[in-house]
Homo-oligomer: A and B are copies of this chain.
Amino acid sequence: MKLGIITGHVVATRKDEHLIGAKLLIVQPILPDNTPAGQPLIAVDTVGAGIGETIIYAVGSVASRATMHPNAPIDAAIVGIVDSVDCPRAGGL
């Protein structure tokens, strides 16, 4: 999994039937120190995440398991909302 921040959302009326009702959020991947890291992706929300929140997301075929449609063509899902990040060794490798 990776850390990310919810930066927005996408509206798509015409879509795969298994995506109907899915909340499609834009996630900016971040490092443990909150700096952006790589390109934004679109993930299905499964935990009630909102704009500006720090979240954990999973990618690949396991992502759809977090949704109500485990056989949907979903390759990214938000699976947790982060309360705190503790990274004492980040600068001390």
Residue of B nearest to A82 (CB): B12
Residue of B nearest to A85 (CB): B10
Q: Which among B6, B10, B82, B83 is the interface contact of A82 at CB below 8 angstroms?
A: B10
- Judge whether B73 and A16 touch: CB under 8 Å: no
Interface residue ranges of A40-73 to B (CB < 8 Å): 40-43, 46-48, 51-52, 56, 58-66, 71-73
Contact flag A59-B75 (CB < 8 Å), given A9-B86, A10-B85, A37-B39: yes
Report Cα–Cα, A3/B93, bound state, in Å: 13
Report Cα–Cα, A1/B88, bound state, in Å: 24
Contact flag A8-B93 (CB < 8 Å), given A66-B16, A81-B15: no
Sorted from nearest, which 9 A-B pairs have the closest CB atoms? Answer: A8-B87, A15-B80, A12-B80, A66-B73, A7-B89, A1-B42, A16-B79, A14-B81, A58-B75
